[in-house]
Amino acid sequence: MRLFPFLVLLLLISCKKDITPPVIGNITLNQEPDTLRINLDTSTKVLIECLIEDETELSQYRIFSNGSIIGSPSDSSSFQNFVYSVNNGIDLNPFMLSDSFNIQSNSCTGLYTVKVSAIDLEGNEALGEEVFLWIFSSEAPFSNITSPDFNSSSYSAGDTIFFEGTVTDNIAIKNIYLNIYDEDGVSLASEQFNYSDTVFTSWDYLNNDARIELPTVLETGKYVLRVRVIDNDGNLSITQDSVNIN
């Protein structure tokens, strides 16, 4: 009879359900903790690593990223937010996760979260501390100005210089600055176009009424007309030449 309580206790211990989730260690991207900056123009492969452990047995892990938290949508259907998800089984405990994924070349730049979850055989799930993937581009915008013709155009004080042509960028156009400078580098007239909420990968000078109104008093001579274009990643392109003021 004395064996009965012991057998009951043994049965309860053996039937005790595992309710403890796995433990996910520090997650790195290309061996960088917290945040990885990756240039779309030079590299698209990301290595993700972390240690996963459990009290009993592990079942599977998942890596996922569900869109940007600070990113640029695009006016072009060919550009999309980076999204990734993969599930794989685990047959070791502890398990050193070492997996890789590629960023599509048409991904919108911005800051993305990357997460890892793990499940044991009892269905207990753990979510690791999220890390961040900062996708950017170093490709500068391209400005093609067809008018004015810098070689032959001449203006008088008080005239308006109208611009024609296009700007293109592989990510998003943020700022366009038009300036005319005297020989000492002093800006005499300017115009600017700034975009933060609306994103363009192409922009037209004529359709946006790009112009500079010259001061009514200007000395005769050569002046510098400069156009600066900046994209969302801070890449800069400059177009400039001299114009004659009669």
Interatomic CA distance for residues 13 and 171, integer angstroms = 60
pLDDT digit string (tens) for 39-64? 988 888 999 999 999 999 999 999 99
Mean pLDDT of the 218-223 span: 91
Q: Which of 150, 149, 158 is nearest to 212 (CA)?
A: 158
Core vs surface per residue 39-75: b (16+ CB within 10 A) or e? ebeeeeebebbbebbbeeebbebebebeebeebbebe
Q: pLDDT confidence of 101, banded at 50, 70, 90?
A: very high
pLDDT digit string (tens) for 159-210? 999 999 999 998 889 999 999 999 888 999 999 999 876 678 899 999 999 9
Where does the chain hold its CATH 2.60.40.2550 domain(s)?
Answer: 20-136, 142-245
Interatomic CA distance for residues 68 and 133, integer angstroms = 9
pLDDT at 93 over 50: yes
At 74 the pLDDT is 55
pLDDT at 224 over 80: yes
Residues counted in the chain: 246
pLDDT at 1 over 50: no
pLDDT at 7 over 80: no
CATH architecture of the domain 142-245 equals Sandwich (2.60)
Contact 120, 58 (CB under 8 A): yes
Q: What percent of the chain has pLDDT over 70?
A: 87
Contact 79, 108 (CB under 8 A): yes
What's the per-residue H, E or C state across the chain? CCHHHHHHHHHHHHHCCCCCCCEECCCEECCEECEEEEECCCCCEEEEEEEEECCCCEEEEEEEEECEEEECCCCCCCCECCEEEEEEECCCCCEEEEEEEECCCCECCEEEEEEEEEEECCCCEEECCCEEEEEECCCCCEEEEEECCCCCCEECCCCEEECEEEEEEEEEEEEEEEEEECCCCCEEEEEEEECCCCCEEEEECCCCCCEEECCCCCCCEEEEEEEEEEECCCCEEEEEEEEEEC
Mean pLDDT of the 82-99 span: 95
pLDDT at 131 over 90: yes
What's the per-residue H, E or C state across 5-40? HHHHHHHHHHHCCCCCCCEECCCEECCEECEEEEEC
Mean pLDDT of the 83-110 span: 92
Taking domain 20-136, whether its CATH number is 2.60.40.2550 is answered by: yes
Mean pLDDT of the 234-240 span: 91
